[in-house]
Structure 1
Amino acid sequence: MQRLKNLSALILTLAVALTTGCQSDDDVSYANYQPADKANHEYREAAKKWDLAPGATWPTEPFADRLSDGNEAYYEKGSGVVDASFDWWCSWALTLTRQQTEQERKISQDHVLRIHETPFYQRLIPQDREAFDRDVVKPALTGDFSGATMVANTNCGKH
């Protein structure tokens, strides 16, 4: 039960981490922020470095140019790189949950376990990296994909 609570907290942290790179034009400092067109360009360039799982596709414009209130959206510089690496991981994590053959499962597992290579993982605060390793990576090494499945099903809806 404690593992489930920790994993739920990790999932919430992941969701917050993926959405906090955005600010409106009402905020004061723009030095570390960029408009959606630049964030989308950054994302597309970063995506070229990652091979999606078979059948998965990259989103055309992952960053919206307007917020729900109509103001222009700005994204933290580096958000495109982080989000592209997370979307890559998601494609493989979701594929892992659906694999039928042992060979397909092994290929997906190998990709999922490369999470440490991603800017997404590297940008997590140390406590979240520890929780991700404990609840997702270490179990996946032994064939327990419940943590990866929970994270993927909760945070990876666009693949």
Structure 2
Amino acid sequence: MRWRNLVGAIIVSAFAIAAAGCKAELQTNQHSEWIKANQAVAEYRDEAAKLKLAPGWEWPSQVIYDEERHGMEALYGVNTGRIDAAWYWHCSWGRQYLGETDLAKRAEYLPQVLALRDSAFFKLGLAVEDRPAREDTLNRLASGDVSEFRNIIEVNCPANSEG
């Protein structure tokens, strides 16, 4: 009887250890590569060089990613800098579009706003399951409904080019 209990305990323990190992692997594989703060800044600068901001906007003179958090070296997921630069670019065009009262100018800015679909923010920063909702917002904007887009920009974007 003791032998069966011992074998049963070993089997249960093995399953528990295997399950815990799988869980840890799932948690750590969300970002397979990590970069340091200076690398995130380099990504940001590289992406910014490819994007034209809305009139009157400038890129922040200093992009700051913490080098340390809670006494430990801070690490960022690969493409963090690219995603952040693309979002700042989108914010510039979103603010420009929403602040414009001249309908002809608004029509001129709209393609830049809709170009979010081709950005690092959309392709690398949004989870695949979140993209349809953002697509829907952009489609409604293109059809003239600015309400949800306005809310996203007002809540998530700097009010001016100060970053």
Same fold, judged at TM 0.5 (above): yes
Partner of 2:133: 131
Instruction: Write the mapping of 1:7-156 to structure 2, written as runs, cut at 5 A.
Output: 32-67=33-68, 69-123=70-124, 124-134=126-136, 136-156=137-157
Higher relative contact order (CA 8 A, sep 6+): 1
Cα pair distance change 1:70/1:59, threshold 3 Å: farther
Taking only aligned residues, the RMSD between alpha carbons, in angstroms, comes to 2.2
Structure 1: distance between partners of 2:138 and 2:32: 35
Aligned residue identity for 1:107: E
Residue of structure 2 in register with 1:14 after alignment: none
Q: Which consecutive residues of structure 1, in runs of 5 or more, have no partner in the other structure?
A: 1-27
Matched letter for residue 106 of structure 1: A
Deviations 1:13-69 (A, max 9, x none): xxxxxxxxxxxxxxx899611111111011001111110001112123333234553
- The amino acid of 2:97's aligned partner reads L
Higher helix share: 2
Which ranges of structure 2 fall in alignment gaps of 5 or more residues? 1-27
Query: Is the Cα–Cα contact under 8 Å of residues 39 and 63 in structure 1 kept in the other structure?
Result: no
Structure 2: distance between partners of 1:107 and 1:38: 35
TM-score, structure 1 as length reference: 0.73
Larger radius of gyration between Structure 1 and Structure 2: 2
- TM-score normalised to the size of structure 2? 0.71
User: Judging changes above 3 Å, is the alpha-carbon distance between structure 1 residues 95 and 31 closer, same or farther for their aligned structure 2 residues?
Assistant: same
Summarize the Cα distance change of 1:46–1:126 in structure 2 as closer, same or farther, 3 Å threshold. same
Identity, % of aligned positions? 29
Query: Is the contact between residue 51 and residue 88 of structure 1 (CA under 8 Å) also seen in structure 2?
Result: yes
